[in-house]
């Protein structure tokens, strides 16, 4: 009788654990965010002190998806994800998010470069300008320890002379249409 009682309690706790979104591994928690992520291609994993970010490419939905996974006392949960439609643009943002919760905050910004003229990508943080070298086909990411909207990073793609050839933003400050990498005119 006592053994059956213990087994019943374990089964009930396991069901509650699973239904609440907890998983035993970070990747399982990321997959729980969207059922189609199990068949999506895992592009990269980025870490911060509170958890991990998974970047997936889902060709079926024609999107990139960034999933944030947090470590909790009894496992891992995923409560945030963002998606970006794939495009044929030579420079494209393929992932990112800005978040803030009770204990942690951060920003992740991921860019893919397919332009041979682009030598580096730069963003402006609250304190400095951060610049990273890229070549054609590279994926570069920026992580900040505070929340900042990615459209406020003043991101730029520069050529080998340091000249701005793309900016990340809207077509004009009067038209808040699609945010993307746009050639400098």
pLDDT tens digits along 42-60: 999 999 877 899 999 998 8
CA distance linking residue 145 with residue 147, whole number of Å: 7
- pLDDT of 85 reads 92
Residue among 123, 116, 120 nearest 162 (CA): 120
**Sheet of strand 75-85: strand arrangement:** 41-48, 51-58, 63-72, 75-85
Lowest mean pLDDT among 31-35, 39-43, 57-61, 96-100: 31-35
Mean pLDDT computed over every residue of the chain: 88
Residue 35: band (very low, low, confident or very high) from pLDDT cuts 50, 70, 90: confident
CA distance linking residue 107 with residue 81, whole number of Å: 13
**Residues recorded for the chain:** 185
Torsion, Cα 144 146 150 156, to 10 degrees, reads: -40
Lowest mean pLDDT among 21-25, 131-135, 151-155, 172-176: 172-176
3-state secondary structure of 169: strand
Q: pLDDT of 107-129, one tens digit each?
A: 999 999 999 999 999 999 888 89
CA distance linking residue 2 with residue 93, whole number of Å: 57
């Amino acid at each position: 009788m006592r053994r059956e009682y213990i087994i019943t309690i374990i089964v009930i706790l396991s069901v509650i654990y699973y239904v609440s979104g907890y998983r035993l591994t970070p990747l399982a928690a990321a997959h729980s965010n969207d059922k189609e992520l199990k068949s999506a291609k895992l592009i990269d994993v980025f870490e911060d002190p509170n958890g991990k970010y998974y970047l997936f490419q889902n060709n079926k939905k024609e999107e990139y998806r960034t999933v944030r996974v947090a470590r909790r006392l009894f496992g891992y949960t995923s409560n945030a994800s963002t998606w970006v439609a794939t495009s044929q643009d030579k420079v494209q943002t393929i992932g990112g998010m800005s978040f803030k919760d009770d204990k942690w905050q951060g920003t992740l910004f991921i860019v893919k470069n397919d332009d041979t003229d682009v030598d580096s990508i730069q963003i402006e943080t609250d304190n400095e300008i951060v610049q990273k070298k890229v070549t054609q086909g590279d994926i570069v990411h920026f992580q900040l320890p505070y929340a900042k909207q990615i459209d406020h990073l003043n991101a730029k793609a520069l050529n080998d002379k340091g000249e701005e050839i793309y900016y990340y933003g809207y077509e004009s400050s009067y038209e808040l249409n699609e945010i993307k990498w746009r050639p400098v005119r």
